[in-house]
Amino acid sequence: MKITTQQQLDDLIATANKSNTIVLDEDLEITFDCKIPCNIKAHGNITACNIDAFDITACNIDAHGNITAFDIDAHGNIKAKNIEYYAFCIAYKSLKCESIAGARKNSFHKCLDQEIEITKEIKL
């Protein structure tokens, strides 16, 4: 699913279920900076510019800018410039970014299959 307008994004947000979650069985591509006032659970990949959402769960998350969320769970890879989260950020295969930080004192981030790669300039 490719979202290119705010109206398309608003229509997608309107599909959130009772637990305030958008559930997708496909990839999600958003072509502009977005703030999504709910959770996103994609059984495919998420690609966007800057993403600001509640909880984000996907196979792979590729942000051409920054990711801001409560919790982030990628069953594959996460690649972004800066990642800010509330409690946890987990990538199974790889996690590449310029910076990563949690808001809680005991928050944590981890990549299960390899070390987190912090670079001076992430190529997206």
Distance separating alpha carbons of residues 47 and 76, to the nearest angstrom: 13
**Extents of the domains making up the chain:** 2-118
| Mean pLDDT over each residue of the chain, to the nearest integer | 90
* Strands 34-36 vs 2-3: parallel, antiparallel or unpaired: unpaired
For the stretch 38-79, pLDDT in tens is 999 998 999 888 899 988 989 889 888 889 898 898 988 998
Which tokens go with 121? 């300039």
Q: Which single residue is written with the structure tokens 């981030």?
A: 109
Distance separating alpha carbons of residues 18 and 117, to the nearest angstrom: 37
Distance separating alpha carbons of residues 38 and 16, to the nearest angstrom: 7
φ/ψ (deg, to 5) at 113: -95, -15
The predicted structure's pLDDT at residue 122: 60
